[in-house]
């Protein structure tokens, strides 16, 4: 899947992957900022809880976004592919000023929505300026390539990770969530070894990458974003390694971005938080 093209007078919307377990009470700064980007008290947020197996997930996020000041918040619980043909739900989605995917199982998302009019519409919405975000599995699905599943540990190994097609909002980065908490550096590196074009983003829990229309990542939350830049990779052993062998990857750059730090996907330059 490829990102939808923006018209000449339109600017792509923000892309907001969240590492999971975002703060929902007290000071929910990630969700609050998403509401602001979606239009504050005029925001109409479409929630897609397809990744979750819990029936109440969609209504919980409806309540959250309304409490945070959104004008409307509507859950669109696509459970089967036939649900994506509902014209009423497509109309609600088309009128949204923000789209948010909940957590759960990212393969449930891709298997239910992949290749449907819903996926195409979300890409078009983002291309015409609507922010699209997601948490945990809902974050993993956002780019062109998605980590479906993989092992744990800090060392990349051959066969450690499996990829699947994502939603296709961008091909510039690859997402891994619950990053520090579930020890996922190895599987993110393994995924990047297949094709060192994208930048790897490892998102800690309660941490989001607010990615602006001009492709600058702004870290928000209580954890950090691990940025893995393989643009200068000089060697990868992935083509010759046997299943389970540790991979050799040389000249990999890693940046750690806590709240307030940023990373420019165009220049590949990281900036620390302002004093």
**How does pLDDT run across 195-251, given as a tens digit for each residue?**
899 999 999 999 999 999 999 999 999 999 999 999 999 999 999 999 999 999 999
Contacts for 242 with CB less than 8 Å, ≥ 6 apart = 158
Phi-psi map region of 197: left, alpha, beta (phi>0 left; psi -120 to 50 alpha): alpha
Residues 17-36 have a mean pLDDT of 97
**Would you state the pLDDT for residue 269?**
98
**Would you state the pLDDT for residue 112?**
98
* CATH classification number, 15-269, choose in 3.30.70.2860, 3.40.50.880, 1.20.950.20, 3.10.20.30: 3.40.50.880
Confidence class of residue 1 from pLDDT cuts 50, 70 and 90? very low
**Would you state the pLDDT for residue 275?**
76
Task: Say which of 38, 144, 178, 190 is annotated catalytic.
Answer: 178
Question: What is the C-alpha separation between 183 and 74, in angstroms, rounded?
Answer: 34
Indicate if the pLDDT at residue 8 is higher than 50: yes
* 112-128 pLDDT tens trace: 999 999 999 999 999 99
2-16, 109-123, 139-153, 169-183: range with lowest mean pLDDT: 2-16
- Whether 67 is a known active-site residue: answer no
- Whether 117 is a known active-site residue: answer no
Task: Say which of 75, 136, 190, 262 is annotated catalytic.
Answer: 136
What is the number of residues in the chain?
A: 275
- Which pTM was predicted? 0.96
Domain spans of the chain, in order of start: 15-269
- Is the separation of the CB atoms in 38 and 131 below 8 Å? yes
**Cα-flanking dihedrals φ and ψ of residue 22, to 5°?**
-70, 150
Crossing angle of helices 29-37 and 57-67, in 10° steps, is: 70
Is residue 130 classed as helix, strand or coil in its secondary structure? coil
Residues 123-143 have a mean pLDDT of 98
Residues 186-201 have a mean pLDDT of 96
Residues 95-121 have a mean pLDDT of 98
Task: Say which of 205, 218, 236, 255 is annotated catalytic.
Answer: 205
- Whether 178 is a known active-site residue: answer yes
Confidence class of residue 151 from pLDDT cuts 50, 70 and 90? very high
Query: To the nearest whole number, what is the mean pLDDT of the chain?
Result: 96
**Would you state the pLDDT for residue 9?**
62
Indicate if the pLDDT at residue 10 is higher than 90: no
Residues 151-163 have a mean pLDDT of 97
Give percent of the chain with pLDDT exceeding 90: 96
Question: What is the C-alpha separation between 49 and 47, in angstroms, rounded?
Answer: 6
Question: What is the C-alpha separation between 187 and 196, in angstroms, rounded?
Answer: 14
Indicate if the pLDDT at residue 7 is higher than 60: no
Indicate if the pLDDT at residue 52 is higher than 90: yes
């Amino acid at each position: 899947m490829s990102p939808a093209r923006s018209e000449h007078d339109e600017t792509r919307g923000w892309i907001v992957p969240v590492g999971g377990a975002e703060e929902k009470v007290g000071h929910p700064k990630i969700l609050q900022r998403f509401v602001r980007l979606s239009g504050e008290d005029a925001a109409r947020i479409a929630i897609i809880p397809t990744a979750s197996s819990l029936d109440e997930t969609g209504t919980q996020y409806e309540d959250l976004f309304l409490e945070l000041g959104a004008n409307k918040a509507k859950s669109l619980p696509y459970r089967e592919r036939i649900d994506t043909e509902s014209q009423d739900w497509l109309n609600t989605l088309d009128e949204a000023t923000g789209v948010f995917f909940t957590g759960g199982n990212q393969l449930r998302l891709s298997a239910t929505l992949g290749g449907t009019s819903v996926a195409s519409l979300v890409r078009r919405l983002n291309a015409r300026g609507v922010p699209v975000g997601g948490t945990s599995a809902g974050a993993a699905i956002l780019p062109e390539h998605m980590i479906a599943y993989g092992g744990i540990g800090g060392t990349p190994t051959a066969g450690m990770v499996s990829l699947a097609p994502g939603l296709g909002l961008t091909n510039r980065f690859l997402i891994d969530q619950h990053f520090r908490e579930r020890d996922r550096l190895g599987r993110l590196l393994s995924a990047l070894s297949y094709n060192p074009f994208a930048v790897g983003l490892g998102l800690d829990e309660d941490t989001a990458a607010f990615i602006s229309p001009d492709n600058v990542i702004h870290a928000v939350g209580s954890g950090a974003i691990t940025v893995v830049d393989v643009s200068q990779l000089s060697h990868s052993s992935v083509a010759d390694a046997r299943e389970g062998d540790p991979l050799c990857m040389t000249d990999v750059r890693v940046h750690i971005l806590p709240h307030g730090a940023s990373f420019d996907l165009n220049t590949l330059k990281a900036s620390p938080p302002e004093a």
